[in-house]
Structure 1
């Protein structure tokens, strides 16, 4: 993992972009061994979408204003789960940070959404004409951009429910931190904090990952949402906020746009 980025699990890709994540009750007859009509056993098992179907449902250009979309760079993000190392119980969170399906999906796809930035007054000036204060403000503002990896995955049967539970279990079990790595390099996440989720889909969980970035504390944002037997995962980084220590969130408009395509 890239040590300055949050360990090859996303910030290096963000920097390069800025430079140019069934329960049913039993009836009385069921308790007597008679399942009856319309029971869970009679319902057809959920079937996963194909990769092609999933790709059509992935948020893209034209679905939401204010973002550009590009392919996730596999030289910066792990292409396969087998490349990922670290604490086993926390791997669902590491997968989200890597743009990979948090569970054993039948199909998955992803994209990178970069927030478009409006030009500032200082943008029209040459570097030589900027005061020291203007230069610092312009540099910080240029880096204050949310870059989000959006991943979609689809599951057979109750796979989506199990996958979502694995994420919520990891948020609780890994609250004290964990290590995550790929390519022989590891990053230390010092804390995992659950936060208010978007509330979209059938169930959702959001979390902040606090990492040690070369001795400086940095925060990364994640959310996982289950939509039936599909799971949407969001992982957002903001280099400017990482540098300044300011809070930021996964763009709500992006989550809403993706949720709308999964209804």
Structure 2
């Protein structure tokens, strides 16, 4: 199990807790698959609205009823505190590191966080030892997603989105992100599977190297009015799927 590898990802605590949570929870449903189109980032002018507070955003986070094929858990105070300490060796890449680390990008008026792990498929009651072992290994590959909502005054959400879009271009060749004393070298950042949601959307595949182990993460950013939703997905096996079901459910709750 690649616990050491995932511990060195930008998501640190949330990556480990999410993935381990997924391996402990069974279901007869599998995670959804993403398409393979280029990423999209169209913008749309929306009337300004009053920024939402932490409590108001918390009420808009995806919940268990919204995603029955996932296990939903709130971010811990320790994870929220660690997010504030996210850093990068390149200032222009810090917005990407913050988005992966459940930290606000820009000056947010409110922030709320939750974690969603796709339920792995349980083996049949009469499964052989080999089938049970395979099911356990498949569970380790469950995609775990950190969801962060941030709300802004004025054009703050548009500005934060633009900052992330610019960072995606400037940091395509790589950077190093760190959180809680652990760092991860990002080798490259490329467009992820296309996302059409909200007023604007971006999707990236982030490829890292942790002591020779390759790690492929998915990062999705959606703006809806003056609220920004970021989705950072990881897997203990090293390759995460884009969390389409989580993105769709969260954007639906934003209205």
Distance in 2 (CA, whole Å) between partners of 1:249 and 1:197 is: 13
Q: Name the SS for the 1:148 alignment partner.
A: strand
* Alignment root-mean-square deviation, CA: 2.5
Equivalent residue, structure 2, for 1:16: 20
2:67 counterpart of 1:64: yes
Distance in 2 (CA, whole Å) between partners of 1:124 and 1:156 is: 57
Q: Name the SS for the 1:189 alignment partner.
A: strand
Q: Please show how residues 84-123 of structure 1 align to structure 2 within 5 Å.
A: 84-121=87-124
Picking from 137, 143, 150, the partner of 2:140 is 143
After superposition, the Cα gap between the structure-2 partners of 1:107 and 1:219, relative to the gap in structure 1 and judged at 3 Å, is same
TM-score calculated relative to the size of structure 2: 0.81
Unaligned runs of 5+ in 2: 25-42
> Does the Cα contact within 8 Å between 1:49 and 1:107 map onto a contact in 2?
yes
Distance in 2 (CA, whole Å) between partners of 1:154 and 1:208 is: 25
- Give 1:95 deviation, angstroms: 0.9
> Does the Cα contact within 8 Å between 1:8 and 1:76 map onto a contact in 2?
no
> Does the Cα contact within 8 Å between 1:204 and 1:225 map onto a contact in 2?
yes
Distance in 1 (CA, whole Å) between partners of 2:44 and 2:142 is: 40
> Does the Cα contact within 8 Å between 1:204 and 1:226 map onto a contact in 2?
yes
- Give 1:217 deviation, angstroms: 1.3
- Give 1:47 deviation, angstroms: 2.0
2:255 counterpart of 1:258: no
- Give 1:3 deviation, angstroms: 5.1
Distance in 1 (CA, whole Å) between partners of 2:19 and 2:248 is: 25
